Amino acid sequence: MEAKDGDTVDVQLEIENHYELHPTVITRPGGTVPAPEDYTQEALDEWAWEHLFDFTGAGVENGGGSLYAVKVTAASDPRLVGFYYEFM
């Protein structure tokens, strides 16, 4: 099933914000984002970059490398629950 233009999904996320020079910070934001266009891995990876990346970060002035590990813990579309992506 493909999303139609204007379709949205509510998500709850758990994000591990890893920093080279600072301790890891875990955040648990939620929000409403556009639904994925489809559920192939390629499409979900693109969806994550376009709509989940903005939830990452913990306001740390880093000066070093970072990695953000995002997991969908709850969603109005159950196909997204458990989706995991690492932004490097």
- Classify residue 75: in a domain, yes or no: no
Sign of CA pseudo-dihedral 37, 50, 34, 69:
positive
- Classify residue 43: in a domain, yes or no: yes
| Residue 6's pLDDT band (cuts 50, 70, 90) | low
What tens digit of pLDDT does each residue of 17-76 get?
988 888 888 999 999 999 999 999 999 999 999 999 999 987 766 677 889 999 999 999
- Classify residue 27: in a domain, yes or no: yes
| Residue 13's pLDDT band (cuts 50, 70, 90) | very high
Q: Count the domains in the chain.
A: 1
- Classify residue 25: in a domain, yes or no: yes
Q: Which domain holds residue 6?
A: 1-56
